[in-house]
Structure 1
Protein backbone atom coordinates (compact mmCIF):
# COMPACT_ATOMS: atom_id res chain seq x y z
CA UNK A 1 0.00 0.00 0.00
CA UNK A 2 1.14 3.53 -0.76
CA UNK A 3 0.07 6.71 1.03
CA UNK A 4 0.71 9.90 -0.93
CA UNK A 5 0.02 13.28 0.63
CA UNK A 6 0.33 16.99 -0.06
CA UNK A 7 0.01 19.57 2.68
CA UNK A 8 0.71 23.27 2.93
CA UNK A 9 -0.84 24.19 6.28
CA UNK A 10 0.04 20.92 8.00
CA UNK A 11 -3.52 19.64 8.42
CA UNK A 12 -3.34 17.15 5.55
CA UNK A 13 0.09 16.01 6.76
CA UNK A 14 -1.38 15.24 10.21
CA UNK A 15 -4.23 13.31 8.62
CA UNK A 16 -1.81 11.40 6.38
CA UNK A 17 0.42 10.51 9.34
CA UNK A 18 -2.60 9.23 11.25
CA UNK A 19 -3.71 7.16 8.24
CA UNK A 20 -0.18 5.78 8.00
CA UNK A 21 -0.23 4.75 11.68
CA UNK A 22 -3.49 2.88 11.14
CA UNK A 23 -2.28 1.21 7.95
CA UNK A 24 0.96 0.07 9.60
CA UNK A 25 -1.04 -2.05 12.02
CA UNK A 26 -2.12 -4.23 9.08
CA UNK A 27 0.61 -3.71 6.48
CA UNK A 28 4.19 -3.32 7.71
CA UNK A 29 5.29 -2.63 4.12
CA UNK A 30 3.09 0.45 3.65
CA UNK A 31 4.98 3.36 2.08
CA UNK A 32 4.41 7.00 3.04
CA UNK A 33 5.50 9.71 0.58
CA UNK A 34 4.95 13.38 -0.12
CA UNK A 35 3.29 13.94 -3.50
CA UNK A 36 6.42 15.76 -4.71
CA UNK A 37 8.51 12.64 -3.97
CA UNK A 38 6.14 10.03 -5.43
CA UNK A 39 5.74 8.96 -9.02
CA UNK A 40 4.68 6.22 -11.36
CA UNK A 41 7.22 3.66 -10.11
CA UNK A 42 5.98 3.91 -6.53
CA UNK A 43 2.35 3.58 -7.60
CA UNK A 44 3.12 0.57 -9.81
CA UNK A 45 4.88 -1.12 -6.89
CA UNK A 46 1.85 -0.76 -4.61
CA UNK A 47 -1.29 -2.80 -4.03
CA UNK A 48 -3.48 0.20 -3.31
CA UNK A 49 -3.30 3.95 -2.86
CA UNK A 50 -4.41 6.30 -0.10
CA UNK A 51 -4.35 9.87 -1.34
CA UNK A 52 -4.42 12.59 1.33
CA UNK A 53 -4.66 16.18 0.23
CA UNK A 54 -6.04 19.60 0.92
CA UNK A 55 -8.76 21.42 -0.88
CA UNK A 56 -7.79 24.85 -2.18
CA UNK A 57 -10.49 27.17 -3.54
CA UNK A 58 -12.85 24.21 -3.91
CA UNK A 59 -10.35 22.15 -5.96
CA UNK A 60 -7.48 19.72 -5.41
CA UNK A 61 -4.41 21.43 -4.01
CA UNK A 62 -1.79 22.14 -6.67
CA UNK A 63 0.84 19.74 -5.32
CA UNK A 64 -1.58 16.80 -5.46
CA UNK A 65 -2.83 17.82 -8.88
CA UNK A 66 0.80 17.88 -10.07
CA UNK A 67 1.32 14.33 -8.76
CA UNK A 68 -1.81 13.08 -10.52
CA UNK A 69 -0.82 14.86 -13.75
CA UNK A 70 2.61 13.19 -13.66
CA UNK A 71 1.27 9.66 -13.17
CA UNK A 72 -1.89 9.81 -15.31
CA UNK A 73 -0.66 8.83 -18.78
CA UNK A 74 2.16 6.52 -17.64
CA UNK A 75 -0.32 4.51 -15.53
CA UNK A 76 -2.75 4.28 -18.42
CA UNK A 77 0.07 3.04 -20.67
CA UNK A 78 1.03 0.45 -18.03
CA UNK A 79 -2.64 -0.59 -17.73
CA UNK A 80 -2.42 -0.05 -13.98
CA UNK A 81 -5.67 -0.39 -12.11
CA UNK A 82 -5.55 -0.12 -8.33
CA UNK A 83 -8.02 0.35 -5.51
CA UNK A 84 -7.77 3.78 -3.92
CA UNK A 85 -9.17 5.85 -1.09
CA UNK A 86 -9.24 9.61 -0.77
CA UNK A 87 -8.93 11.69 2.39
CA UNK A 88 -9.46 15.44 1.93
CA UNK A 89 -8.66 18.21 4.40
CA UNK A 90 -11.20 20.87 3.49
CA UNK A 91 -11.44 24.53 4.27
CA UNK A 92 -14.59 24.74 2.14
CA UNK A 93 -16.83 21.70 1.75
CA UNK A 94 -14.38 19.31 0.04
CA UNK A 95 -16.77 18.10 -2.63
CA UNK A 96 -14.99 19.89 -5.50
CA UNK A 97 -11.65 18.28 -4.63
CA UNK A 98 -13.28 14.86 -4.34
CA UNK A 99 -15.05 15.23 -7.70
CA UNK A 100 -11.83 16.31 -9.41
CA UNK A 101 -9.86 13.36 -8.00
CA UNK A 102 -12.62 10.90 -8.89
CA UNK A 103 -12.66 12.12 -12.52
CA UNK A 104 -8.90 11.63 -12.76
CA UNK A 105 -8.97 8.16 -11.20
CA UNK A 106 -11.84 7.07 -13.41
CA UNK A 107 -9.66 7.86 -16.44
CA UNK A 108 -6.70 5.71 -15.37
CA UNK A 109 -8.89 3.61 -14.30
CA UNK A 110 -8.63 3.11 -10.55
CA UNK A 111 -11.38 1.63 -8.37
CA UNK A 112 -12.72 3.49 -5.37
CA UNK A 113 -12.21 1.15 -2.40
CA UNK A 114 -13.63 3.38 0.33
CA UNK A 115 -16.02 6.28 0.24
CA UNK A 116 -14.01 9.54 0.34
CA UNK A 117 -13.47 10.99 3.79
CA UNK A 118 -13.73 14.77 4.00
CA UNK A 119 -12.39 16.46 7.11
CA UNK A 120 -13.46 20.06 7.58
CA UNK A 121 -11.41 22.41 9.73
CA UNK A 122 -8.41 21.75 11.93
CA UNK A 123 -8.04 18.05 12.78
CA UNK A 124 -8.58 17.29 16.47
CA UNK A 125 -7.91 14.01 18.28
CA UNK A 126 -11.25 12.51 17.24
CA UNK A 127 -10.67 13.36 13.59
CA UNK A 128 -7.14 11.95 13.71
CA UNK A 129 -8.59 8.72 15.12
CA UNK A 130 -11.00 8.62 12.17
CA UNK A 131 -8.03 9.02 9.82
CA UNK A 132 -6.20 6.15 11.59
CA UNK A 133 -9.25 3.93 11.17
CA UNK A 134 -9.56 4.97 7.51
CA UNK A 135 -5.94 3.96 6.82
CA UNK A 136 -6.42 0.73 8.76
CA UNK A 137 -9.61 -0.01 6.84
CA UNK A 138 -7.93 0.34 3.47
CA UNK A 139 -4.93 -1.76 4.56
CA UNK A 140 -7.20 -4.45 6.00
CA UNK A 141 -9.34 -4.59 2.87
CA UNK A 142 -6.24 -4.90 0.69
CA UNK A 143 -4.79 -7.59 2.97
CA UNK A 144 -8.03 -9.59 2.84
CA UNK A 145 -8.41 -9.20 -0.92
CA UNK A 146 -11.70 -7.32 -0.59
CA UNK A 147 -10.57 -4.48 -2.85
Structure 2
Protein backbone atom coordinates (compact mmCIF):
# COMPACT_ATOMS: atom_id res chain seq x y z
CA UNK A 1 0.00 0.00 0.00
CA UNK A 2 1.43 3.43 -0.90
CA UNK A 3 2.37 5.63 2.04
CA UNK A 4 1.94 9.39 2.39
CA UNK A 5 4.19 10.94 5.04
CA UNK A 6 3.02 14.22 6.56
CA UNK A 7 5.98 15.93 8.25
CA UNK A 8 4.89 18.99 10.20
CA UNK A 9 5.89 21.50 12.81
CA UNK A 10 2.67 22.71 14.40
CA UNK A 11 3.32 25.16 17.26
CA UNK A 12 0.22 27.35 16.82
CA UNK A 13 -3.57 27.09 16.51
CA UNK A 14 -3.34 28.46 12.95
CA UNK A 15 -0.97 25.69 11.89
CA UNK A 16 -3.08 23.12 13.76
CA UNK A 17 -6.12 24.15 11.70
CA UNK A 18 -4.07 23.86 8.50
CA UNK A 19 -2.70 20.44 9.50
CA UNK A 20 -6.18 19.14 10.33
CA UNK A 21 -7.44 20.30 6.92
CA UNK A 22 -4.52 18.54 5.16
CA UNK A 23 -5.20 15.32 7.09
CA UNK A 24 -8.91 15.54 6.33
CA UNK A 25 -8.18 15.85 2.62
CA UNK A 26 -5.61 13.05 2.63
CA UNK A 27 -7.94 10.67 4.47
CA UNK A 28 -11.23 11.52 2.74
CA UNK A 29 -13.22 8.42 1.82
CA UNK A 30 -12.52 8.99 -1.88
CA UNK A 31 -8.84 8.21 -1.20
CA UNK A 32 -8.46 4.44 -1.13
CA UNK A 33 -5.53 2.20 -0.31
CA UNK A 34 -3.14 4.97 0.79
CA UNK A 35 -1.65 4.83 4.27
CA UNK A 36 -1.31 8.29 5.81
CA UNK A 37 1.46 8.62 8.40
CA UNK A 38 1.81 11.81 10.46
CA UNK A 39 5.06 12.74 12.12
CA UNK A 40 6.10 15.84 13.99
CA UNK A 41 9.21 17.17 12.28
CA UNK A 42 11.46 16.42 15.26
CA UNK A 43 10.16 12.83 15.39
CA UNK A 44 10.34 12.05 11.66
CA UNK A 45 13.29 9.88 10.71
CA UNK A 46 15.17 9.09 7.52
CA UNK A 47 13.52 5.64 7.67
CA UNK A 48 10.09 7.32 7.66
CA UNK A 49 11.09 9.32 4.58
CA UNK A 50 12.52 6.31 2.77
CA UNK A 51 9.39 4.25 3.47
CA UNK A 52 7.08 6.94 2.06
CA UNK A 53 5.91 7.24 -1.53
CA UNK A 54 4.93 10.91 -1.20
CA UNK A 55 5.15 13.77 1.26
CA UNK A 56 3.27 16.71 2.68
CA UNK A 57 5.44 19.23 4.50
CA UNK A 58 4.06 21.83 6.92
CA UNK A 59 5.91 24.58 8.72
CA UNK A 60 5.67 28.05 10.17
CA UNK A 61 7.78 30.76 8.59
CA UNK A 62 10.12 31.71 11.43
CA UNK A 63 12.16 34.86 10.89
CA UNK A 64 11.70 34.38 7.15
CA UNK A 65 12.81 30.74 7.12
CA UNK A 66 11.39 27.24 7.57
CA UNK A 67 11.17 26.13 11.19
CA UNK A 68 14.28 24.72 12.80
CA UNK A 69 12.34 21.50 13.40
CA UNK A 70 11.68 20.96 9.68
CA UNK A 71 15.31 21.89 8.95
CA UNK A 72 16.44 19.18 11.39
CA UNK A 73 14.29 16.64 9.52
CA UNK A 74 15.88 17.67 6.22
CA UNK A 75 19.38 17.63 7.74
CA UNK A 76 18.88 14.04 8.90
CA UNK A 77 17.01 12.71 5.87
CA UNK A 78 18.69 14.52 2.97
CA UNK A 79 21.64 12.23 2.22
CA UNK A 80 19.89 8.94 3.07
CA UNK A 81 17.05 9.96 0.71
CA UNK A 82 19.10 11.64 -2.01
CA UNK A 83 19.32 8.77 -4.49
CA UNK A 84 16.35 6.74 -3.28
CA UNK A 85 13.44 9.21 -3.37
CA UNK A 86 13.92 11.09 -6.65
CA UNK A 87 10.68 11.79 -8.46
CA UNK A 88 8.43 11.34 -5.45
CA UNK A 89 5.56 13.85 -5.14
CA UNK A 90 5.24 16.40 -2.39
CA UNK A 91 2.99 19.21 -1.23
CA UNK A 92 3.81 22.15 1.04
CA UNK A 93 1.85 24.40 3.38
CA UNK A 94 3.41 27.32 5.23
CA UNK A 95 2.01 29.79 7.74
CA UNK A 96 3.57 33.12 8.65
CA UNK A 97 2.57 36.26 10.45
CA UNK A 98 3.99 38.55 7.76
CA UNK A 99 5.71 36.71 4.93
CA UNK A 100 6.37 33.11 3.87
CA UNK A 101 8.63 33.75 0.88
CA UNK A 102 11.95 32.79 2.50
CA UNK A 103 10.54 29.63 4.07
CA UNK A 104 9.06 28.50 0.76
CA UNK A 105 12.29 29.28 -1.08
CA UNK A 106 14.36 27.29 1.43
CA UNK A 107 12.09 24.25 1.28
CA UNK A 108 11.93 24.35 -2.51
CA UNK A 109 15.74 24.41 -2.61
CA UNK A 110 15.89 21.24 -0.51
CA UNK A 111 13.13 19.43 -2.42
CA UNK A 112 14.74 20.39 -5.73
CA UNK A 113 18.02 18.94 -4.49
CA UNK A 114 16.22 15.74 -3.51
CA UNK A 115 14.55 15.57 -6.91
CA UNK A 116 11.04 15.57 -5.42
CA UNK A 117 8.22 16.71 -7.70
CA UNK A 118 5.71 19.34 -6.59
CA UNK A 119 2.30 17.66 -6.90
CA UNK A 120 0.17 20.73 -6.26
CA UNK A 121 0.69 24.46 -5.68
CA UNK A 122 2.02 25.48 -2.28
CA UNK A 123 -0.41 26.83 0.29
CA UNK A 124 1.06 29.94 1.90
CA UNK A 125 -0.99 31.75 4.51
CA UNK A 126 -0.27 34.89 6.50
CA UNK A 127 -2.44 35.73 9.46
CA UNK A 128 -5.38 33.62 10.51
CA UNK A 129 -6.30 31.04 7.85
CA UNK A 130 -9.69 31.67 6.34
CA UNK A 131 -12.18 29.22 4.85
CA UNK A 132 -10.49 29.39 1.41
CA UNK A 133 -7.07 28.77 2.95
CA UNK A 134 -8.31 25.71 4.83
CA UNK A 135 -10.01 24.45 1.67
CA UNK A 136 -6.68 24.84 -0.17
CA UNK A 137 -5.01 22.78 2.59
CA UNK A 138 -7.70 20.11 2.25
CA UNK A 139 -7.14 20.01 -1.51
CA UNK A 140 -3.37 19.82 -1.02
CA UNK A 141 -3.72 16.74 1.19
CA UNK A 142 -6.28 15.13 -1.11
CA UNK A 143 -4.24 15.81 -4.26
CA UNK A 144 -0.99 14.36 -2.96
CA UNK A 145 -2.77 11.32 -1.50
CA UNK A 146 -4.88 10.71 -4.64
CA UNK A 147 -1.72 10.78 -6.74
CA UNK A 148 -0.44 7.80 -4.75
CA UNK A 149 -3.52 5.61 -5.20
CA UNK A 150 -2.76 2.32 -6.96
In the superposition, the TM-score normalised over structure 2's length comes to 0.87
Distance in 2 of aligned mates of 1:114 and 1:10: 24
Which residue does the alignment assign to 1:101?
107
Distance in 2 of aligned mates of 1:97 and 1:125: 23
Distance in 1 of aligned mates of 2:136 and 2:115: 27
Match of 1:70, SS?
A: helix
Runs of 5+ consecutive residues of structure 2 not aligned to the other structure:
none
Deviation at 1:128, TM superposition (A): 2.1
Deviation at 1:90, TM superposition (A): 1.6
8 Å contact kept, 2:41–2:69: yes
8 Å contact kept, 1:5–1:52: yes
Distance in 1 of aligned mates of 2:7 and 2:146: 18
Which residue does the alignment assign to 1:10?
13
Deviation at 1:123, TM superposition (A): 2.1
Which has more helix, going by share of residues? 1
Give the aligned CA root-mean-square deviation in angstroms.
Answer: 1.6
Distance in 1 of aligned mates of 2:46 and 2:124: 25
Deviation at 1:79, TM superposition (A): 2.4
In the superposition, the TM-score normalised over structure 1's length comes to 0.88
Runs of 5+ consecutive residues of structure 1 not aligned to the other structure:
none
8 Å contact kept, 2:9–2:59: yes
Moved over 6 A (4+): none
